[in-house]
Structure 1
Amino acid sequence: MDFVTITKLLLLACVSYLWFRYKNNLQIKPIYGSQQTDSATGKSRKRKVLYPGPDDLTKVKIDIVAVHGLGSNVDWTWIWKDRTKHVHWLRDPDMLPAALPNARIMVYSYESRWHTKAPKTRLELCGEELMEDLHNFRTKTRDRPVVFIGHSLGGLVVLHCLLFADRIERFKYLPARTVGFLALGTPFRGTKMQTLAEKAAWLMAPAVTQDRHFLVPFGRNENFVGRNSILEQLLSRIPPSAKKDDCQRTAVEGLGGVGKTQVALEAAYRIRDQHPACSVFWVPAVDSISFEKAYREIGKAFGVQGLDDDMANVKSLVKAALSCESIGSWLLIVDNADDLKLLFTDTALADYLPFSRKGSILFTTRNHEAAVRLDIRPIITLKEMNNAEATELLRTGLKENQTNDTESTARLLEFLANLPLAVKQASAYMAKTGISTTKYLRYCQTSNKTMAKLLSQDFEDRGRYRDINNPITTTWLISFNHISRDMPLAAQYLKFICFLAEKDIPISLLPSGKDKLQKDEEEEDEEKEDELKKDEAIGILKGYAFILGRDSPDSFDIHRLVRLAMRNWLQGKGEWQEWTGYVIQRLADKYPFPEHENRTEAEQMHRQALELREAVLGQEHPFTFDSMNNLANVLDSQGKYEEAEQMHRQALELTEAVLGQEHPSTLNSMNNLALVFRSQGKYEEAEQMHRQALKLKEVVLGREHPSTLNSMNNLANVLDSKGKYEEAEQMHRQALKLREAVLGREHPSTLDSMNNLANVLGSQGKYEEAEQMHRQALELTEAVLGREHPSTLDSKNNLANVLDSQGKYEEAEQMHRQALELTEAVLGREHPSTLNSMNNLANVLGNQGKYAEAEQLFR
């Protein structure tokens, strides 16, 4: 029941009472007596509930507070009687309770017998005491609307109560919740109280002069959880009274499915409860028809003339009506304001947004550019739920045994990225099937195809539009369609990105704006213009929250479920093979061979190649093999030998099957796999594969080909590791001679052969020759590669070992300490080479009798 109806019924009750008095010729019989006291405290009772009884309080929707006048008493002010009949119009079942059965009717008492003695308190304090009494009594019902009835001086007590409440922050809710004030014979005009009365009337004018409307198409979400900080921000900004000199514009932006509509819906109901004089209107901006339909309903509520005319511009008529301040305060919620074309070009819905200093507009959008163009500052970004909120949402409607595995529940929510729509969709599916979080998680992890199917399941959601499918994949593809239309390059980038790892995607990996990625391949005159197009496309994807920025401006992340939805879309459109091939080629072009100088970039590319592995295994593409080999080499350089072996095996199987055993890519894969065998101590397998690779390379490439010499060197290393020193020495001398002739004496491969030959000489006890060669190799390596290069550190470590073997402990210790310090700084404390240096230093310390320090290093 709205406050206008309540006010009319109160007036009707007053008229009914006067008619009853007239018909029965009743006369007032004042009874002057003491006020009732509270039996528990002995104090004068301030307030008394007349209706309803304690058993009927559940039906109460509004409070009515009656305050008596000068020289009156709460027990008889509202009662008229003669010898036979009594009428208490606030309490009698045929009077006010009959007109307002859902009201709680109370009377309030204060010391008013001024004609017999001076009052103990001033009038202002009477109002303050009324406020305090209501505040304490209505602890659990402070949001309930209130109507005051003031008889004579009681009206001024009410007036001071409201003015006092408006000054005190903790009491300000009461004037906001006051929806009516009936003053019966209160002496305002012609008195000093007139100014105060006018101010009180101004405070309550919205409640008694304008109709309040609430046009929201969804019921309140009883399962709404969390989002407290966002709601606090909104409720401090979106009430029209928050900015009295402007029509406030606020936007909540975020990824599709993050819960923007639900937050706006909850805000709408809280505004309704906390600001009863403020109308609330909900307008969907999903298309022009929905927008105009909602505007028509607003126009009908205000009785706007001309809405049904055939040529009427409904949006213009309603805009004009809302822009008129005389209609009172309002909040307009424009939901799903995403489509730039709809908002600013075709139908230009933004042109029909009203302006009133008594109005406020709240937008929800997944498009940051839309919020910027609507001139909104600042913009509130809504992100995924926290763990506690997501857990509570998931468990809604489920049985306890479906979520009792807390570990599986936590892992499922992490998998769903705590995205509200995905969590709600999972909860709906679990409720329908009765499965547990453990089983749902297993479904998700089975394959991308299964996961995509789950995310495509429709489900009932009363808080979303019935004419729009609500699966999460559909939600995002609506945004993707907008991007494809407005910024094709951004859509192409999203197709490209979805094959990469979720985190730390380098911007440099993205093709440029004039790359083959664009079908028309328009050539740009300026490289800067090309970069501008690239930046704009990336900005669009960030604006839709499809990709997320990182601390470093050179890379970004992609949302996990967006990536999955995009992959599913590509498979459905038959574009999977085309795009995986293109991404593989791009990655192969940009993927550096792992070297010391580019190890950071190589590691970054490694993460991307790892994600590509599953997609490329089923494709027979030469770039696939290069990418997999490069990736495996990065893993090998990081000491991740098992992962490297697995990938090298896959690459070798593919190249043999597709290109044949004698193809250079196959021979390269064979050599790489043999190397990782040696790194793990699998010397027999390493020797066998190196011999096979060397034999084939000599036939296919020739004996002096750098790749052949590389295999010769690698085989000699394995022979050295197995203790076949003479054969290893012979092969190393041969490789060194050929490399010097073919590549030159200072080539890194030549220096590598020199170092390896010195090692095998040392293994045979030929220490002087080994020392001489190691010193020569170290000097050249430092000059060519630098002091901190891993090859230089290996040379330093090898020379120190030879010195140790000759009993030159002090020089060996000094060199090992240098090698360990540099290796730890360059490669990290846990790298196998660092641990090897640590072990060598401990050995030379032990040889010198420095057992305590040696033991510490060994530990």
Structure 2
Amino acid sequence: MNIIDIRPQDLGVKVLHDPKEVDEVEVDVVAVHGIGVHPLKTWTHSKTKTNWLSDPSMLPSALPTSRILSFGYDSVWFGEKSSKQTLDGVATKLLRGLRVERENCPHRPIVFIGHCFGGLVLQKAFMMASSNEIDYPDIFRSTRGMIFIGTPFRGIPESSQLKTSSAIYDAIAAMRVDYQDNILRTIAQDNELLNATVAEFARKISTTPRSPMLFCFFEQRPTNIGAIAGLKTNKEFVATEGSATLDGHEKEGLASDHFQMNKFEDNEDGNYKCVKVQIEKMVNMAKSTVDEVNTQLPQPQHSDRRVDVPFAPDLARKRIYFANRGGILHSIEERFARRTRVALFGDEGAGKTHIAVEYARHYLTETPSARVFWVNAGSPAELMLSYKRIAAELSLPKDDEAASQTVARVRDHLALDFQVQWLLVLDGLDNIDEMQSLNPDVNCNLSFLFPDSDDTENRRILVTTRREDLAVEVVKGKKKYTLPVGTLKKEDISQILYGKITKEAKRQTWADDVAACLHEGKGSAGALDLVRMHFKLHKEAKRSEYIGFLRSAITSGINPVDASWARLFDLINHDHEKEANLWLTFGVLDVEMIPRTFFSKHERSELLPVLINIGVVDQLLPDRSSYRVPKFSRACAQRWLEGRPAKRPPIENMVLQQVLAAWKWEKLCPVLPLALAVSRFQPTSTTGRQALETIRARLSKKKEVDEANKALRPSLAVNAAENGPPATRSRMTSSLKELASGQEPERGPSVRQKSIEGGKKQLRLEGPRVSSSSPALTSRDSPIRTMQQQSRRLEKLQTRDPGWEEPQTWRAAYDLARMRLTRTQHKPDNFKETVNLFEEILKRKSARAGPPSQLVPSQYNLALAHESEGNLDEAVAMGHFALENAALGKSQQERELYFRIKGSLAAWYAARNRHDEALRVFEELLPAMDREIGADHRLTLEARRNKAMFLADLGELESAEAELVAVLRAQELVLGPDDRDCLRTSCQIASVWARLGRKEEAEERFRWVLEKQEEILGADHGDVVMTRRLLGDLFVVEESDS
């Protein structure tokens, strides 16, 4: 009997082949072995001693730009060194090993190979990575293929010699050695864990867009299983075709037994050729989607909720080409510990936006329940659009209000938002005069854009700009809170060009030479990106030749940055002419964010993916509603067009027609920046001029355009005066007058208001009874695991000096307390701990000098914590204190907070059977809310729902049902049917049905709501727990009735 000796050094992820001669490794191939084998020898043929994963003549030769790795675990299950393993345990070690090994290349595509039990490990790891991108970033989304070799998905046969009653076990027992057979039990036929793992994997593959390719190999020769124990037994099939294949996926047999089917003699081995073909196919597919993987695959639910930032770059994806610049993220963090505002400044293309994106991603990782709001400040129109989208995200808006009012409403809301920590990013704030035109107070400085707060633990504002003087103004003259972005160190240059810090002196020298040449043209990170994109498209290009090209451009007096752009453009134009022309379109438009409606279906499906893959364009997640074209990329295209004036007019004419086609007149907002941009065009064709006049005429009828025109007017006038002929200047002046004189048409009742009224007559019932109040302290809930991590983090911060005086301690306390208010599955003692946290926070805020209104958020938080603890009397008492202070507020946000608190008090009165007081508060509250914030506001609908449940508690079930039905219809129209408030209302309708005796309808509705809530919120969320409890109560009632 052969006892295998495995050392600790043999375990874990090992790099078997890492190509050094290529500029970029494109795919990782990872192999996982089966049971009862040595991790380093299992892939080696016994006769030729050839390891097909590492031998230069085999897989490394077939995959010259791929890195090949293996993962080893202790699979010895009998003998003195037998090891007890579990499927979950091995899968976890694999994921942890890959996380470390792929730290500098987290989004590189992966193709997995699994033999026997190793295939099940891959399935389990894939599922674990899909549900936990926090711990295992990008592994799920980067998995592009899986090769299964002899994996028994349906278990080994009941008659197998691997069963515990076989001669093999008798022989092992006779040797009096230990054995750990839990892995063998896992692959037994009808094992519950095996069946669940395979079934869950199959569901995930079938429901995941762009899921990885799968291919299954099965054995065609029987195996002497007894060889494990030194016996010769009847040969048998371990993983038959029926067991080793997956329905709906390709398969092929190998003329080998189970033990030998993962070993190949040489590169002429027929079995090897079969396997190699499938691996090559997956690797080639993975290379073609290397960047699309990260822009198109959906995020797992929990991580999605933390990184969905409307109208912003994809914050979920770590960028391997990001240059750390000597720890600039840490430098930003240090400044935020002392001030709420930090500004980055640097030349065009320096990488300011990339730094802002990475910091936002870092912030979301460190503060799981926080939110990021992204403002594109490249022009007044883009800034207006960003603030309107944020207002909608916060449920603030009146769609017809002026832009300055929207900016003020968002600013005031964020200044008083106690519900969640936030980071506000203003990207590309370069022109003070343009932005100042949106300011209703001409005597106010640029700060009108920013919430004014010194609350460094909860509020952060990050600004990027090209101007140092503006950066200093943003931070109120405190220059030490600005950071210059420009100078790149050797490591930064290497990271941008190669995606890693190279250790090869020759490659680093070339990178330094490229950077030195580009520096002659004031090039920085953006210019290096052009070089990287060139070599990504032209893999055969020689580095020495490229250096010669740059030096020749400098000698000829040509800007090397523009020369690099032109060379890349020509390379794209050679094979992708339409895509290259689309790049020029971006330069003509000169707009950062372009809505998808601007593009044709062909452009979205065929042309844009090519530019995204190259790196010219970013597609924004999660809804993919827009595309981002960086300023540096647009500026290069503009300079190229300046030298070719004949090319611009036809592009302008085409763009004018596309803007007309894309503009949905009743919903101007997304197209507003495009419409204003093209209004500056000077078309030469008749169709172009007609399109321009149509756009200008329609712009003049839009009230929301007026403030943008204030900024647009000076720039147009200057452009016309300096560059245009007299006739052009005359037309421009006339058009500007038309734009400025537009009148807003009279407006009838809003669509939302009509919908609410109509909802009382007609309704589509779709769709939760929850706690009486709605502690919406964060709409982006984190799992219990994150809450436990946050608790441990707070404990560490409290014990170290200076403890509670440290801003990080405050942030951790707020974060943990908010999480607990939305999560109910934790120990009762933790309810009291949540109260204690809020009491400590309130005590410390009370000690600070300031108006009573500053205490309102903390007082209300504490009241909600008392309610969660079940202490309604304390909740009511603290709620009264909060309400008294909130009544002093005059701003829109302060009034909304006042209404929220008063609505909670009414619900608490009702829960304490203080019916007269509850009714009085509801009768005061609802008319005031209709009058001040509107009947279709989220808070108004929430208060109506709470009153309906109060009526139900009084026995007025029919009235309660009718009102809940109307509320649900209005919420679905305003918030969307999958919104948490809609599901709450639907659950409450079901609870009323149950009390009306309509048990079957109630049960069906409860189950539907529960399924939706678990999918959207997670199984441990408070709403889910409440729905589950109400469904359980329904059966309790049925049993008592029977």
Q: TM-score, normalised by structure 2?
A: 0.28
Q: Which has the larger radius of gyration?
A: 1
Where relative contact order (Cα < 8 A, 6+ residues apart) is larger, the structure is 2
